[in-house]
Amino acid sequence: MTGLGLPNVIRACLFDLDGVLTRTAVVHAAAWKEVFDDFLRRREGPDFRPFDAIADYDQYVDGRPRADGVRVFLASRGIELPEGSDDDLPELDTVHGLGNRKNALLLAKIRTRGVEAYAGSVRYVETVRASGLSTAVVSSSANARDVLASAGIEALFDVRIDGVVAAERKLPGKPHPDTYLRAAHDLGVEPGAAAVFEDALAGMDAGRSGHFGYVVGVDRVGQADALHQHGADVVVGDLAELLEVGM
């Protein structure tokens, strides 16, 4: 193992954003809950079953492209909506309308609260770069660039593959491995020489199915067993723990 807690073959590190690098997963979950609870309340009345910002978020939404998250969660409740289009108004009860409503709420919450990076993650990425490894951010979020800039960590990454880039390049999102594979390609390394860092179960599936050299699960919410079951080689509570492993 290297001083980074990684196998010696690793030459690049591919990081998810929300929940791995920045404290934005909870903001995403809060925005989704507000959107889904409003929709379910109007559809089913006051006795509706609310969206669980932990269990439902982790299982159906976390790590997926926005529209996929809407489809998968609603399917879990036996609900199917018209697709609509990317430019649907947030008031429309379509897949894209609900997704756009969530995005508007998310941006408002980010503007109000700002974005904070995990100190341990920043220290780890800085050490990775000082050790000569290349770095990429791989996120399903269309707002990844704004989040990176707000957190002051945009310059720490050589490549960014986010929701905008994925749409432009027609890359399917997590749990498919394509966005991670593209990041490795853009960094000039084979998947076997790249490590994936994820907190989402869909991201774990992407890392494992892409045959990457090492998959690190980051457990912020007490789901270490699930991360292992979905393919993590190791699970840590904070990336800085890997520096202690590598000592």
Strands 194-198 and 159-161: unpaired
Distance between CA atoms of 60 and 76, rounded to whole angstroms? Answer: 8
Query: 16 an active-site residue?
Result: yes
Amino acid at 78: G
Q: What is the chain's length?
A: 247
Phi, psi of 207 (to 5 degrees): -65, -40
Distance between CA atoms of 130 and 142, rounded to whole angstroms? Answer: 29
Query: 18 an active-site residue?
Result: yes
61 in Cβ contact with 53 (< 8 Å): no
Catalytic residue among 16, 56, 88, 205: 16
Catalytic residue among 18, 62, 68, 205: 18
For 131, 133, 245, the CA distances from 3, given in Å and listed in that order, are: 9, 12, 8
Secondary structure (DSSP) of 139-175: -S-TTHHHHHHHHT-GGG-SEEE-HHHHHHHT---TT
> DSSP alpha helices (H): ranges in the chain?
25-44, 55-56, 66-76, 95-113, 119-130, 144-151, 163-169, 178-187, 201-209, 224-229, 240-245
Distance between CA atoms of 109 and 82, rounded to whole angstroms? Answer: 27
Active site residues: 16, 18
